[in-house]
Amino acid sequence: MRARARARLSSPAPLGLDLATPEPVPAEGIAAATALLTSGRLFRYAEAGVGASEAALWEQEFAAYLGRRYAVAVNSCGSAMYLALHCLGVQTGESVLMNAWTLSPVPGAVAHVGAHAVLVDTTADLTIDLADLERRARAHRGSVLLLSHMRGHVADMAAVRDVCETFDLRLVEDCAHSLGAAWDGVATGTQGLLGCFSTQAYKHLNSGEGGVLATDDDDLAARAILASGSYALYEQHASRPPLERLATLAPSEANHSMRLTSIAAAVLRPQLRALPARIEAWNARYTVLAEGLSLVPRVTLPRRPPQEQFVGSSLQFSLDLPPSSIERCCAVAASLGVHVKWFGGERPHAFTSTYRHWSATARNTLPDTDDVLAGLCDIRVPTALPLDRCADVVAILRHAVQTQVEPTTADP
Ligand SMILES: *Cc1c(COP(=O)(O)O)cnc(C)c1O
């Protein structure tokens, strides 16, 4: 009896792969960065006499990729979200609606403009709860919705846009995890007035730090360029509204010094060209992992509707186990080389926190979101994980869950 229980729980071999390393910079990007280091032109603006900077070219290429008229490169997605709220004229004390399930730079951006975050519930499928959104939109008519496509989960955007129209919400999208994703063929970041993207090392493109703000609106683009810190050198942007708009608005915008360095832009440009191949690699791995995990007892994966064209750079699942068991399950997986993040922990850990940990936000409590977060787990899906090793990740996770389900204490 004992031998059989042991055999069933015999541990898979450790994975032996480093899955925590971000995506590397292609050789082309390294060469471009090296050339910049040699030239000393690390700043995106020049006093005189040079062609378009790497940053200007990056913005132009990013806008073309996304299908928006303008892109403004900044030093983080947090800065992009702050500038979006600033350019929309959000004032101190105003309310900004946002997802309860997202990362801390989102309430941080709301705090940065001095606004007040109104948290909206999350469904079991990990998107914004439309009924709760409608309730809160009715109470905060005319405010801004800062919508995170958290971990790349895209809500029914036709329904979200309906709510926004009905209650005069201005939509800003946080696409930190959804570059390349779409709803019903419309890219995330182009659904509202402004889209905010991250190029921090663990997002879809890696420049260490970086962000992009995208819009079709002349005045918002002009304000964002000026506020990001263009001095009187905004003419050096290749992706920009007519100079007259910039000149007219310049006296009313402060310089917030949130520029992207040219060196970051130089490493990003070839990565954008490689993005379609990267997306294919992520999605192939996601499919194998999701199929394998969906067969593990106590594990539930969120439903993803066919209109959601997602990028599977990470995978979320819910564990139907008590908190202490989830903690032990994560420890077993980690000991075998698979790092599982858990959103139900009492304390913030690494990048993972929940709304209960954010100091700057409104403290509206959300029991439905709490239920979702209690079992919610998350793994990265790096391209460094070979396709034929995905089954090993599934085996390790299955084993980790099993150690918490099997009646090991019944052993004599
Ligand atoms: C990473 C992240 C951000 C912030 O991006 P930074 O570039 O690090 O400021 C915002 N929202 C979500 C959902 C993120 O995952």
The predicted-structure confidence for 43-76, as pLDDT tens digits, reads as follows: 999 987 678 899 999 999 999 999 999 999 999 9
Taking alpha carbons only, the member of 150, 82, 79 closest to residue 302 is 150
Q: What is the pLDDT of residue 358?
A: 82
The percent helix, strand, coil of the chain (3-state, each to 5) is: 45, 15, 40
Read off the DSSP letter of residue 91: -
Q: The pTM is what? A: 0.95
- Do residues 278 and 255 make contact, with C-beta atoms less than 8 angstroms apart? no
Q: Kindly give the number of the ligand 1 atom that is closest to the alpha carbon of 79.
A: 9
Mean pLDDT of 172-183: 98
Span from the CA of 209 to the centroid of ligand 1 (angstroms)? 10
Band (pLDDT 50/70/90 cuts) for residue 346 is confident
At residue 227, φ and ψ (nearest 5 deg) are -70, -30
Mean pLDDT of 183-187: 98
Band (pLDDT 50/70/90 cuts) for residue 411 is very low
CA 383 to chain centre: 17
Between these two residues, 10 and 49, which has the higher pLDDT value?
A: 10
Mean pLDDT of 102-129: 96
Tokens read off for 154? 């895209």
Beta bridge partners of 70: 215
Residue 76 CB less than 6 A away from ligand 1 = yes
- What is the chain's mean pLDDT, rounded? 94
Residue 106 CB less than 6 A away from ligand 1 = yes
Burial class (CB in 10 A: 0-12, 13-18, 19+), 250: middle
Between these two residues, 355 and 230, which has the higher pLDDT value?
A: 230
State the Cα–Cα distance between residues 216 and 193, nearest whole angstrom.
7
Atom 1, ligand 1: residue with shortest CA distance: 176
Q: What is the pLDDT of residue 21?
A: 84
Band (pLDDT 50/70/90 cuts) for residue 1 is very low
- Do residues 378 and 101 make contact, with C-beta atoms less than 8 angstroms apart? no
Q: Kindly give the number of the ligand 1 atom that is closest to the alpha carbon of 148.
A: 13
Longest CA–CA separation in the chain, Å: 83
Span from the CA of 102 to the centroid of ligand 1 (angstroms)? 9
* For residue 30, pLDDT beyond 80: yes
